């Protein structure tokens, strides 16, 4: 049986090895960028390296957060952010609540103009 804790576990700071795994791809891409610009290399390869580095950083950080959650039971990486207490911003972006009329007004305007 699982039990819930009233307070989430404290967020542990990432280790140097975790940082190296996540950010190492950016350093490789940066080191490859300088010679490509100076020697007139193929910039499409450099762009692909930067895109790959960004994807690697996302996947590696997600994998390390899941690893920390399964191994240590520390899910604070997924619980750290909370929705704001005032739902005004959320209602504005979703056009719900007090701002629900906006959806109807936009539809009416579109139909009236014949778009």
Share of the chain above pLDDT 90, in %: 30
47/79 Cα distance (integer angstroms): 34
pLDDT, residue 44, reads 87
Q: With CA atoms as reference, report the closest residue to 33 among 24, 21, 23, 44.
A: 44
How far apart are the C-alpha atoms of 46 and 33, rounded to whole Å? 6
The pLDDT of residue 86: 66
pTM: 0.59
Look-up: residue for tokens 């100076």? Answer: 38
In this predicted structure, what is the pLDDT of residue 96?
73
Q: Which tokens go with 35?
A: 């010679």
Q: 51 with 58: CB under 8 angstroms? A: no
pLDDT bin (cut points 50, 70, 90) of residue 1 is very low
Q: pLDDT digits over 48-91, tens only? A: 999 999 999 999 999 999 998 898 888 888 776 666 666 677 77
């Amino acid at each position: 049986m699982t039990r819930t804790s009233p307070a989430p576990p404290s967020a542990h700071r990432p280790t140097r090895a975790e940082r190296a795994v996540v950010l190492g791809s950016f350093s490789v891409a940066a080191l490859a960028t300088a010679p490509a610009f100076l020697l007139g290399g193929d910039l499409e390869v450099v762009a692909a390296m930067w895109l790959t580095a960004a994807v690697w950083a996302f996947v590696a950080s997600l994998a390390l957060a899941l690893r920390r959650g399964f191994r240590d039971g520390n899910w604070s990486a997924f619980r750290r952010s909370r929705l704001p207490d005032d739902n005004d911003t959320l209602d504005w972006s979703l056009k719900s609540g007090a701002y629900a009329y906006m959806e109807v007004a936009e539809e009416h305007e579109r139909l009236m103009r014949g778009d």
